[in-house]
Structure 1
Amino acid sequence: MNTALSADPSETPCEPQAAAGTAQAPGRSAEQRAAHETNKLSKRLHRQVGAAITDYNMIEQGDKVMVCLSGGKDSYGLLDILLSLRQRAPIDFSIVAVNLDQKQPGFPDHILPAYLKGLGVDFHIENQDTYSIVKRLIPEGKTMCSLCSRLRRGILYRVADELGANKIALGHHRDDFLGTIFLNMFFGGKLKGMPPKLVSDDGRHTVIRPLAYVAETDLERWAEHRQFPIIPCSLCGSQENLQRVQIKNMLREWDRKHPGRIDNMHRAFSQVVPSHLMDRQLFPFETIVPTGLADPAGDKAFDEDEDETCATPTPAPLGEVAVPMEFVRRPRD
C-alpha cells in the first residue's frame, strides 16, 4: 500500500480532468509523465474521499467500518483508499472487508481471500447460495438484479451485526449517484438520488459511500495502476440491456461532448432550492403570502428563464476545493 501520498491543496482544480498524456514540461520522459499523472490521480482520489468523509461525518472515533468488497474496481478502490487514509487519519477506526460469495457459477472464490491475506486486512467471506434462489424465482430473460440486491442487503446487514461493525461502506461513486437520480426520474417519477450517508432501512446500521465525489473514470485508471485482481460482474449472465447501463452510456456521451456537465449536475445535488420545485412536503406552497419585503430568491415572473451559468463562474467540483484535510493527514506530534 502506498500511504505516503496525500492531498496537495495547491493542485489546480481543473487539472485532474485532463487525460493521462496531457502535454507536460519539456524534457520529461514518457515514464516520468506517466508517473506524474498517477501521482496527481492518487492525490485527487485521496483528497476527494477525505473530503466526503469530512463533509458528511462518515467515520468517527472508534468506528468499525465494514467495507463491502465485490471484486469490482469500485470496491477495490474504496478499500485501498480507506486503508491508506486510515494511516494518516487523526482518529482511530478499524476496517473489516466482507465479500458475499453468492455461489454464481464460475465465481473464482480463491481471488479475494488471497488478495486480502496479502494486504493483511481483517476480512470475512460469507457463503450464501442466493444465485439458486434468484434463478428459481426470476423467469428466464428477466433482470435478476432487484431480487439479488434485496437478498444481498439482508445478508450483509446480518454479517455487520455479527462482526460488530457500526458502519457499512459501499463503493458507489459520483456516476452512480447521477445514474440513480436519472433512473428515478425517467422510470420512477421521483426526484431521488443516492445518499452519501443514511441509516439503513432496517434502522440498525449507518451506510456510507465515501466515493461520493469520485468519477468512475478515475477509479478505472486507479484499478489499472494498482492492478487489482478484478472479478467480472457478468457471472450471472448478460445484462447489457439494463436501464442503468443505458443511463451510464448517456452520461458518458454527455461527458464526452460537454466536458464539465457531469460535475455541474453532481454539484446540483448539494444546492437544492425547494421553493423552485413542486414538492408540497418540502415547501409550504399552500400557505405562502406576500410579506411586502424584497426577496432575491423570490419568483421573477416576467423575466426570461435564468441562465446562471452565463453570469456565475463555475466553482470547483465537489471534493476539489482546498480541503478540510484533517481526515487525510495525521498532525505531527
Structure 2
Amino acid sequence: MTIADPRRTKHELDKLQKRIRRHVGQAIADFNMIEEGDKIMVCLSGGKDSYAMLDVLMGLQKTAPVKFDLVAVNLDQKQPGFPEHILPAYLDTLGVEYHILEKDTYSIVKSVVPEGKTTCGLCSRLRRGSLYGFAEEIGANKIALGHHRDDIIETLFLNMFYGGTLKAMPPKLLSDDKRNVVIRPLAYCPEDDLIALAEAKEFPIIPCNLCGSQENLQRQNIKAMLADWSAKHPGRIQNIFGAIRNVKPSQLADADLFDFSNLAIDRQSGLEIINAVNVG
C-alpha cells in the first residue's frame, strides 16, 4: 500500500487553491462583481460548488482591497431526509454569519408536477423567488450563486439545442424586477477543480436528489457530449467558453442586436484609403 507524501499533497492543494482563487479574482475584476461596502448573500446548497464558493470568498475577504460582508444562506425546502444538522454544524466551525431559511417548496412542487415528470424547473423558480426576497430582508445587495464554467457552457448548448436561443448564464445579472444583482464568482472555474477541492477539504456534501427527481436528462446528455469533446479535442471547452466572451453581433442574425436594415455602402472612405496609399 502506497502512503501519500503529506508535503506533496499539501503542495498540490496549495496549487489548486491558488488556481481557483486566480479564476475567481479574475472574474470578480472583469465584471466588477464586488465593490466597497457590499453585503453579499452566499447561497449555500450543501453541494461542492457552493461550499467552494464560500471558502474562496472568505479567503478573498481577508486580502481584497475593498471591504465587503458575507452572509451564508441555505434554503431548507423540507425535502424528506434532508440532514438539517450538517450545514449549521459546518458553518459554526467557520464563524461566518448564516441563516437557514425554511420554506416548504417540496410540498408545492409535488402537488403541482405530475408523477414521473421532472420537478427541477418549478423547484428552481420557487427557490429563486424565496432567496431573492430574503436578500432584501437581510439588506444584501448582491446574491452569489455557485455556477461554474461547465454549468455556463452546458446551459449555452441546452438553450441552443432545445430552446432555439443563444444564451447561457451571465457572470453578473440584474434580476428582471431590478431589485437584485446576482453574481457568479466561479464563472471561470472548471468543474474538475471544484471536485478536487471538495475532496481535498472534505466538504460535508449533501446530495441534491433527496426529492427523488433525477437531474434533467437533457443536461446529462449535454454534459456527456462535452466530456467526449474534452477527451477527444483538448482545448475545445476553453474555446467554447472563450466564444461566449467574444461575441460579434454583426456576424450573427439577430436584428435586435445589430442594425442590419440600415447598412449602407460608403465607397468614399475606401477611396480615401486607396488615394492615401497611392500618394504615399
Give the TM-score band, short-chain normalised.
Answer: over 0.9
In the alignment, is residue 123 of structure 1 matched against residue 135 of structure 2? no
User: CA separation in 2, counterparts of 1:238 and 1:150?
Assistant: 15
2:158 alignment counterpart: 183
Report matched runs for 1:105-184 at 5 Å: 105-184=80-159
Greater Cα offset, 34-43 or 101-110 = 34-43
User: CA separation in 1, counterparts of 2:68 and 2:150?
Assistant: 28
2:77 alignment counterpart: 102
* Post-superposition CA distance 1:60-98 (Å, at most 9, x none): 000000000000000000000000000000111000000
2:243 is aligned, of 243, 264, 268, to: 268
User: CA separation in 1, counterparts of 2:124 and 2:17?
Assistant: 31
1:219 is aligned, of 194, 205, 208, to: 194
TM-score by length of 1: 0.78
User: CA separation in 2, counterparts of 1:241 and 1:92?
Assistant: 39
Q: Which amino acid aligns with 2:52?
A: G
User: CA separation in 1, counterparts of 2:216 and 2:184?
Assistant: 26
1:253 alignment counterpart: 228
In the alignment, is residue 285 of structure 1 matched against residue 252 of structure 2? no
**Does the 8 Å CA contact 1:68/1:171 hold for their aligned counterparts?**
yes
**Does the 8 Å CA contact 1:174/1:213 hold for their aligned counterparts?**
yes
Q: Which runs of 5+ in 2 are unaligned?
A: 271-280
Structure 1 residue 293 displacement after superposition: 6.7
In the alignment, is residue 206 of structure 1 matched against residue 185 of structure 2? no
* Post-superposition CA distance 1:94-153 (Å, at most 9, x none): 000000000001100000000001100000000111001100100001010111111111
Give every structure 1 segment of 4 or more consecutive aligned residues whose post-TM-superposition deviation is greater than 6 Å: none
Q: Which amino acid aligns with 2:116?
A: G
2:35 alignment counterpart: 60
Structure 1 residue 238 displacement after superposition: 4.2
User: CA separation in 2, counterparts of 1:185 and 1:209?
Assistant: 21
In the alignment, is residue 76 of structure 1 matched against residue 41 of structure 2? no
Q: Tell me the secondary structure at the aligned position of residue 264 of structure 1.
A: helix
* Post-superposition CA distance 1:217-261 (Å, at most 9, x none): 000000011110000011111415521121112111211221111
TM-score by length of 2: 0.92
User: CA separation in 2, counterparts of 1:265 and 1:173?
Assistant: 14
The Cα RMSD (Å) is 1.4
Higher helix fraction (1 or 2): 2
User: CA separation in 2, counterparts of 1:211 and 1:37?
Assistant: 20
**Does the 8 Å CA contact 1:171/1:211 hold for their aligned counterparts?**
yes
Percent identical pairs in the alignment equals: 63
Instruction: Give the 3 Å change call, closer, same or farther, for CA 106–274 of structure 1 in structure 2.
Output: same
In the alignment, is residue 93 of structure 1 matched against residue 68 of structure 2? yes
User: CA separation in 1, counterparts of 2:152 and 2:237?
Assistant: 11
User: CA separation in 2, counterparts of 1:125 and 1:284?
Assistant: 48
Q: Which amino acid aligns with 1:237?
A: G
Aligned length: 267
**Does the 8 Å CA contact 1:101/1:126 hold for their aligned counterparts?**
yes
2:168 alignment counterpart: 193
Instruction: Give the 3 Å change call, closer, same or farther, for CA 294–247 of structure 1 in structure 2.
Output: farther
**Does the 8 Å CA contact 1:143/1:242 hold for their aligned counterparts?**
no
User: CA separation in 2, counterparts of 1:157 and 1:41?
Assistant: 32
Q: Which amino acid aligns with 1:143?
A: T
Instruction: Give the 3 Å change call, closer, same or farther, for CA 177–292 of structure 1 in structure 2.
Output: same
